């Protein structure tokens, strides 16, 4: 679907049906939204709008990395929203010019819809403050604001793994930890290039329309800085938790080994002695002694106590 | 609560009741402190003081990252004190201008109170050295100075974990180590952005009022540099201690295993032999031999000694 | 083999048999391809084309690192394609000038062949858009595009190792993981110097012919940036998977140890008691008791249950 | 103690008793050394010499990080010598000006004493080459030269841990390794800020007196670069040694485990069989067979050999 | 030994016996080689050649870090060849000037000898292309070229450790791996400062004589870049191999543990039961049953099979 909004010099908002309609009127600026375009609609990018073939190629291809290119006639941006369901990337392409903005997205876009809805309900006097750069800011601000709940969700999961309120087995926790780390990596691959993109924007001399709204784009950049730090720090905390589990595990193995060794060390010799006097030799003088049995029991008891004290002194328990 | 101090051109300090009062007098400079402001008081930021909406948004929102923004009329700072009880961040916002400073904090602030108390007790001649930048310096200096005892406390805990004077179990120590590392991470998230903020301040061309007090702000920056190094180095020491525990643990497991294996290796064959002669076959010639029992005891003794020497030669104990 | 294509000022494409033929005609530009050259053919680089000895040395030597050198008369590039069969590097050397391009490769080159085939099928009017820099771009674009399937293949292998659909043994998986990490390292050694090479190209003031096609070379650079990030991130994921396997392994060792210790702890004392009453002393009063056997069986049962409950309470299973 | 040396324009060296004496004479330059000053002597820094309060604060405070501050009238340096006994830091403060140098140290200073002794024994004609910057260079050169033996000592200890000539237990070695790593960390905290300080000095436009002795200060900087590399590389070697110990330990645990498992696997079934024929059932036909005992012995022998060969084929020993 | 070669303006090569001889002739340029100089010969550096004392100090001292210093009259370089026998550093010092080069080395130098031999065999017309900078280039090129075989050798050793063709024990392999990592570290300490030195040279404005041979020095720099990458990547591969060994080791420990636990779990209860019926109580009714023995044998068989199936279902083998 291709949606078109045009604004005339009296700040009236006009909805158009086709790109050709734009040439006929006399408009201050306009916004074309390629919303899940069909293959025939995509052709308008080159045929009607005459964008550079490399920019169109970037629209259609999946490179998965935010970017900014300056062409003679316009600036071209790729940004990525993140789908909260599966953390997949939702590409948003922008062709930005003083007099127009073209947005392009193959999936439905919450962010674009919200801005579109807000704009079409607006009064002519409020529309005076709007334009292609304002629309570009509003959409990118929404894209970035929507990253936060995703990280908060992962932080909560991390806290749950750390505190383990449901007493889950260590193997389950390690598996969840691994998934959290994986998702943090995915977020980083979206957020860090977005951050670098905004840094380039803020330090660019090409984007004249951005200057008067600099404070606004800086605000988005601050959020991206914070997001990027949150991802890095949560990965570090996830590493800490894993190392802690491993430490405790290795410590526990040690404790279990000690129990095993103590048990074995006490009973192996005792069982051996019992085995001795269970032998059937005809000539075993001790067997005939009246108190032989009690002497052996006594010796066994002494051995057990000595062993016990020896391990105790070695600090094994 | 909104507290207001104004200074007239004769260096007299006047306490005002409302922001409106400032327009009526003729003041050299003034300080407005939003101390745990109510929602109605917050409205003064936009209605009476006409600050930029993005700066006000930053005041009200929780971004948790020190920052500095230049607006046309003023500079805007966010700094974070740390609550010694739980290491939580206490946001302090500053609207700074040659002629005024506005401080904003949602919790009570020790740092702001101390400076406020000092100022209101001051003589007119001393007030000559004061002004918005001086107040800004004094508060931020206090915020940073209060970081030190927190790190010293963690260093002490780290030393205690290393020396283990109370002979606590390794699992307890590893747990405390994990908590210390976590807290160092939290401190780093406050301190490093503060350090970067002061670096930007010192290298900024916007902050003219800072130039004459450059040496003072550099002093704060030095402390932040040192703090940031202390955090990094303590994390490294914490890692070293953990790795050391793990090494010792893995070494100890090895030692325990050797004891177990020696015991088993000596008694398993002996017990087996005793078992042989405990069998009830009718035709077992050795059982009839007069000295059969003593021969078997002798063989067992020799086997035990050989085993013992073999493990000794392998260097197992 | 030395293949030569020359273009005259009417955009006619002429195939020549020898380098000497170039001096005789009047050509707008030409392309010489040294395709698996013989030792006698290599001599043309110095004798006929008079290239700088260091550039020729770099052609013949194996340094295995993409590079760019500016000589007075021409620019010299080394790029590396990767053989999909064994990830070995296939060196491509370029001598680039406004009026000519010389390509040199010791193995057959898919990338060069594809561009060559496309060019010789072309109409005179299309050839107008071509020239040495265009040929250079087309070959390098193909070289870089061919990296992607190699990384996708490794990503698929990594997913297979992570999900382990064929339930292979951990030792097999660890071995495959090690190979994947090794191959990622090999790719990085090709891709990162290529990326740095394109960065230098784009920021160079020497390459005037590159300016009008800047957007095209930037497009290749973007791909190299993405590739380099993919390699880094896949190495990180491979590390995560290995750490996860190790964690699970160490956890499993712990579980196995517990089973062993429980079994041993329950049966060692029981077997010892049975051993006691298997001794053949003549005076062992318990043996004569009518219910001695049943009392001992009862005691054994109680001991087993107590042990079981004790381990249960310790949370061992 | 406050020691004062002044040099007049004829290069005569005069020892003065008090700072006040300096105002009375006409001196080319002078050196004041605050050697373990009392609290009353410290007051001279502000009262007589009128240094900036922040510089004086830095003198008295313990920040433990080398630094350089430019004040209007002088440059202020903090450097740290290291006490060879316990690697503690010995702060040296310098107030440096074209016409004077003030040194300040709370402990006795070997480095200052050596330079002082050398200077007071000097002839007037040699004193011509001296001045505040020369004294500053000589002391800092000595401070840095004294770092080397400390690192060489740690390197020797590291080699001893690696070669283990006295066959000490692994736990002792790991403990010593941990201490060495700790001390390397301490050295790094002194050396790296010193290195950064000299880098700043060499690239500063403020220190005009340094220019004519640039080669000398560069020489000190080279030593600091080398020292900083030595520390980093020794920490890396220490890590390598620890990882090697852990690898060998884990390998050894594995070997011990195999011995245990082989012994158990061979004797557990044999002992079980002996136990079978030790049972006292009245009807056990095998017991009556004439060669039953020898058959069972034979079966046991075969089982032991088969087990042995099976473990051998699995490559367990 | 001090060897001297001088070239007059007709490109004749003259061998001189003493440094004093140089003043008497009229030479275009000359080369003095201090080859393992005696203490008396060393004095010529200051007495006859009047080099800066800091440069002479650097010659005589062992700092072990490549460096470049600009003095007024000359440039001073320290480079390190590596002895293939023990990877020890062989210091080469260069005093370089448009009109002379002085080389200084305390050990015999293959690199210097090779260049010397080549030069003295040369015709006058070839000598026209030579001069101090050419000699400096030729020696440093040789020093760097000789690094390659050392790394190739370590790479081969690494491959051998990885493939383990002689089936050596893991402990032996880990030990060799440790040595390889150690040697890579040593190489890095020589190569990286050499690389940084050439980078500084190529970006220096002082070395005018270098400009006309820039391509040659860039070629050496490329080799150093490649070498430095090879060292880094081989250390990474060595880490991968070690981690792989450890993973396999830990996995193997786990497998061994399972065998032990299965054996113990099957035979401990069986042996206990046999022990029960080996007891000598007078009243044990089962012993009198006609088929008691066979029932017990049957129960034991069932227990063994159940245990076996249980471990099988748990996936233990
Ligand atoms: Mg593209
Ligand atoms: Mg796309
Ligand atoms: Mg936002
Ligand atoms: Mg916002
Ligand atoms: Mg991951
Ligand atoms: Mg780690
Ligand atoms: Mg904001
Ligand atoms: Mg806020
Ligand atoms: Mg302070
Ligand atoms: Mg202070
Ligand atoms: Mg943590
Ligand atoms: Mg200070
Ligand atoms: Mg410590
Ligand atoms: Mg080369
Ligand atoms: Mg080549
Ligand atoms: Mg491409
Ligand atoms: Mg393409
Ligand atoms: Mg690898
Ligand atoms: Mg994964
Ligand atoms: Mg101090
Ligand atoms: Mg020195
Ligand atoms: Mg010196
Ligand atoms: Mg340490
Ligand atoms: Mg070593
Ligand atoms: Mg590691
Ligand atoms: Mg030196
Ligand atoms: Mg030397
Ligand atoms: Mg070379
Ligand atoms: Mg060469
Ligand atoms: Mg090493
Ligand atoms: Mg390998």
Tell me what pLDDT residue C314 has: 85
Is pLDDT above 80 for E317?
no
Contact C250 A252 (CB under 8 A): no
What distance in Å separates the CA atoms of residue A166 and residue E307, rounded to the nearest whole number?
Answer: 31
pLDDT-above-90 percentage for chain B? 69
In the predicted model, what is the mean pLDDT of residues C239-253?
Answer: 86
Could you say which of 1.10.3470, 1.20.58, 1.10.150, 1.20.120 is the CATH number of the domain covering A258-313? 1.20.58
Smallest CA-to-CA distance from E272 within A280, C308, C304, B260 is with C304
A305 and chain C: CB distance < 8 Å anywhere? no
Alpha-helix runs per DSSP H in D28-102: 39-42, 44-47, 53-60
**What tens digit of pLDDT does each residue of A221-254 get?**
999 999 999 999 999 999 888 888 888 888 888 8
Mean residue pLDDT of chain D comes to 91
Centroid of ligand 14 to alpha carbon of C78 (angstroms): 11
Q: Kindly indicate the confidence band of residue B75, based on its pLDDT and cuts at 50, 70 and 90.
A: very high
In the predicted model, what is the mean pLDDT of residues B219-231?
Answer: 93
What distance in Å separates the CA atoms of residue E251 and residue C170, rounded to the nearest whole number?
Answer: 7
Alpha-carbon distance D184 to nearest alpha carbon in chain E (angstroms)? 18
Residues near ion ligand 9 (CB < 5 Å) are B 141, 145
**What tens digit of pLDDT does each residue of A31-78 get?**
999 999 999 999 999 999 999 999 999 999 887 889 999 898 899 999
Centroid of ligand 5 to alpha carbon of A179 (angstroms): 7
DSSP-derived letter for residue E221 is H
What distance in Å separates the CA atoms of residue A24 and residue C261, rounded to the nearest whole number?
Answer: 87
Alpha-carbon distance B97 to nearest alpha carbon in chain D (angstroms)? 25
Q: Kindly indicate the confidence band of residue B170, based on its pLDDT and cuts at 50, 70 and 90.
A: confident
Smallest CA-to-CA distance from D207 within D104, D79, D76 is with D76
**What tens digit of pLDDT does each residue of E146-178 get?**
999 999 999 999 999 988 888 888 888 888 998
In the predicted model, what is the mean pLDDT of residues A204-226?
Answer: 86
D216 and chain E: CB distance < 8 Å anywhere? yes
Tell me what pLDDT residue E206 has: 78
Under CATH, to which class is C1-124 assigned? alpha beta
> Minimum mean pLDDT among A130-134, B245-249, D99-103: which range?
B245-249
pLDDT-above-70 percentage for chain D? 100
Is pLDDT above 90 for E141?
yes
Is pLDDT above 90 for E49?
yes
pLDDT-above-90 percentage for chain A? 69
Contact D264 B264 (CB under 8 A): yes
Centroid of ligand 4 to alpha carbon of B57 (angstroms): 8
What distance in Å separates the CA atoms of residue C207 and residue B173, rounded to the nearest whole number?
Answer: 62
Name the burial class of residue E252, with classes exposed (0-12), middle (13-18) and buried (19+) by CB atoms within 10 angstroms of its CB. Answer: middle
Is pLDDT above 90 for E126?
no
A168 conformational bin, left if phi > 0, alpha if psi -120 to 50, beta if neither: beta
| Domain-wise residue ranges, chain A | 1-124, 258-313
Is pLDDT above 90 for D124?
no
**What tens digit of pLDDT does each residue of B252-262 get?**
888 899 999 99
**What tens digit of pLDDT does each residue of E69-96 get?**
989 889 999 999 999 999 999 999 999 9
Is pLDDT above 80 for D155?
yes
Contact B276 D279 (CB under 8 A): no
> Which residue in chain A is spatially nearest to C241 when comparing CA positions?
A178
Contact A251 B249 (CB under 8 A): yes
Smallest CA-to-CA distance from A106 within A145, A52, A59 is with A59
Residue with tokens 């043309």: C44
What distance in Å separates the CA atoms of residue B191 and residue B228, rounded to the nearest whole number?
Answer: 6
Q: Kindly indicate the confidence band of residue A133, based on its pLDDT and cuts at 50, 70 and 90.
A: very high
Contact list in C for residue A182 (CB cut-off 8 A) is 237, 240
E145: helix, strand or coil = helix
A222 and chain B: CB distance < 8 Å anywhere? yes
Give the C-alpha distances (Å, rounded to integers) separating A201 from A90, A140, A217, C50.
21, 12, 9, 46
**What tens digit of pLDDT does each residue of B191-215 get?**
999 999 999 999 887 777 777 788 8
What distance in Å separates the CA atoms of residue D43 and residue D14, rounded to the nearest whole number?
Answer: 24
Contact list in A for residue B275 (CB cut-off 8 A) is 275, 278
> Minimum mean pLDDT among A205-214, B68-77, B109-118, C289-298: which range?
A205-214
Is pLDDT above 80 for B63?
no
Contact B275 D271 (CB under 8 A): yes
Contact D249 B251 (CB under 8 A): yes
B232 and chain A: CB distance < 8 Å anywhere? no
> Which residue in chain B is spatially nearest to A220 when comparing CA positions?
B54
Q: Kindly indicate the confidence band of residue D65, based on its pLDDT and cuts at 50, 70 and 90.
A: confident
Structure tokens at B141: 């200096």
Tell me what pLDDT residue A208 has: 76
Best mutation target among A267, A276, A281, A307 (most C Cβ atoms within 10 Å) is: A267
Smallest CA-to-CA distance from E65 within E191, E226, E232, E180 is with E191
D285 and chain B: CB distance < 8 Å anywhere? no
Q: Kindly indicate the confidence band of residue C246, based on its pLDDT and cuts at 50, 70 and 90.
A: confident
Element (H, E) at A148: helix A147-163
> Which residue in chain C is spatially nearest to E256 when comparing CA positions?
C253
Buried-state track D188-220, b at ≥16 Cβ within 10 A, e below 16:
bbbbbbbbbbbeebeeeeebebbeebebbbbbb
**What tens digit of pLDDT does each residue of A182-197 get?**
999 999 999 999 999 9
DSSP-derived letter for residue D157 is H
Centroid of ligand 11 to alpha carbon of B231 (angstroms): 13
Chains that touch C (3 or more CB pairs under 8 A): A, E
CB atoms within 10 A of CB D172: 12
> Pairing relation of β-strands C27-35 and C100-105?
parallel
Contact list in E for residue C287 (CB cut-off 8 A) is 280-282
> Which residue in chain C is spatially nearest to A182 when comparing CA positions?
C237
Structure tokens at D234: 């020794």
3-state secondary structure E7-42: EECCCCEEEECCCHHHHHCCEEEEEEEEECCCHHHH
Element (H, E) at A30: strand A27-35
A242 and chain B: CB distance < 8 Å anywhere? no
Contact list in C for residue E283 (CB cut-off 8 A) is 289-293
Tell me whether the CATH fold assigned to A1-124 matches the one assigned to A258-313.
no
Question: Nearest ligand, CA of residue D94?
Answer: 20
In the predicted model, what is the mean pLDDT of residues C260-279?
Answer: 94
Alpha-carbon distance C215 to nearest alpha carbon in chain A (angstroms)? 8
Contact list in B for residue A170 (CB cut-off 8 A) is none
**What tens digit of pLDDT does each residue of D91-114 get?**
999 999 999 999 999 999 999 999
pLDDT-above-90 percentage for chain C? 70
**What tens digit of pLDDT does each residue of B32-59 get?**
999 999 999 999 999 999 999 999 999 9
Centroid of ligand 31 to alpha carbon of C173 (angstroms): 16
A65 and chain C: CB distance < 8 Å anywhere? yes
Is pLDDT above 80 for C86?
yes
Tell me what pLDDT residue C243 has: 85
D286 and chain E: CB distance < 8 Å anywhere? no
More confident site: C5 or A209? C5
C216 and chain A: CB distance < 8 Å anywhere? yes
pLDDT-above-70 percentage for chain E? 100
A260 and chain B: CB distance < 8 Å anywhere? yes
A260 and chain C: CB distance < 8 Å anywhere? yes
Element (H, E) at A76: strand A75-82
Is pLDDT above 90 for A168?
no
> Which D positions 261-280 lie with beta carbon below 8 A of chain B?
263-264, 266-268, 270-271, 274-275, 277-280
Q: Give the global pTM.
A: 0.82
Q: Kindly indicate the confidence band of residue B185, based on its pLDDT and cuts at 50, 70 and 90.
A: very high
**What tens digit of pLDDT does each residue of D188-220 get?**
999 999 999 999 999 887 777 777 788 899 999
Tell me what pLDDT residue C112 has: 97
D170 and chain B: CB distance < 8 Å anywhere? yes
Contact C274 E276 (CB under 8 A): yes
Tell me what pLDDT residue A214 has: 86
Contact list in C for residue A62 (CB cut-off 8 A) is none
Contact C246 E244 (CB under 8 A): no
What distance in Å separates the CA atoms of residue D221 and residue E63, rounded to the nearest whole number?
Answer: 12
Tell me what pLDDT residue C207 has: 79
């Amino acid at each position: 679907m291709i949606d078109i909004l045009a604004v005339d010099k009296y700040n009236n908002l006009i909805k158009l049906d086709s790109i050709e309609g734009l040439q006929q009127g006399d408009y201050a600026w306009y916004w074309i939204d390629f919303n899940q375009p069909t293959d025939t609609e995509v052709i308008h990018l080159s045929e009607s709008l005459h964008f550079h073939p490399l920019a169109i190629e970037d629209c259609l291809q999946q490179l998965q990395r935010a970017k900014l290119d300056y062409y003679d006639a316009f600036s071209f941006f790729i940004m990525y929203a993140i789908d909260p369901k599966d953390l997949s990337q939702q590409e948003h392409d922008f062709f930005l010019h003083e007099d127009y903005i073209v947005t392009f997205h193959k999936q439905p876009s919450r962010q674009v819809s919200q801005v579109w809805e807000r704009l079409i309900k607006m009064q002519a006097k409020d529309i005076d403050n709007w334009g292609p750069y304002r629309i570009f800011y509003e959409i990118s601000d929404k894209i970035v604001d929507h990253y936060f709940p995703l990280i908060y969700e992962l932080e909560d999961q991390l806290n749950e793994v750390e505190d383990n309120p449901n007493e889950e087995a260590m193997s389950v926790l390690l598996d969840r930890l691994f998934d959290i780390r994986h998702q943090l990596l995915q977020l980083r691959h979206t957020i860090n290039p977005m951050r670098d993109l905004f840094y380039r924007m803020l330090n660019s001399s090409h984007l004249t329309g951005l200057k008067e709204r600099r404070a606004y784009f800086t605000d988005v950049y601050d959020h991206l800085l914070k997001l990027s730090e949150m991802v890095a720090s949560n990965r570090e905390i996830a590493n800490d938790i894993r190392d802690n589990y491993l430490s405790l595990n290795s410590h526990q193995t040690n404790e279990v080994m000690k129990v095993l060794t103590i048990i074995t060390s006490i009973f192996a010799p005792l069982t051996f002695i019992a085995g001795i006097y269970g032998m059937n030799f005809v000539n075993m003088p001790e067997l005939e002694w009246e108190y032989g049995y009690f002497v052996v029991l006594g010796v066994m008891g002494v051995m057990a106590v000595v062993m016990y004290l020896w391990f105790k002194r070695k600090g094994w328990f």
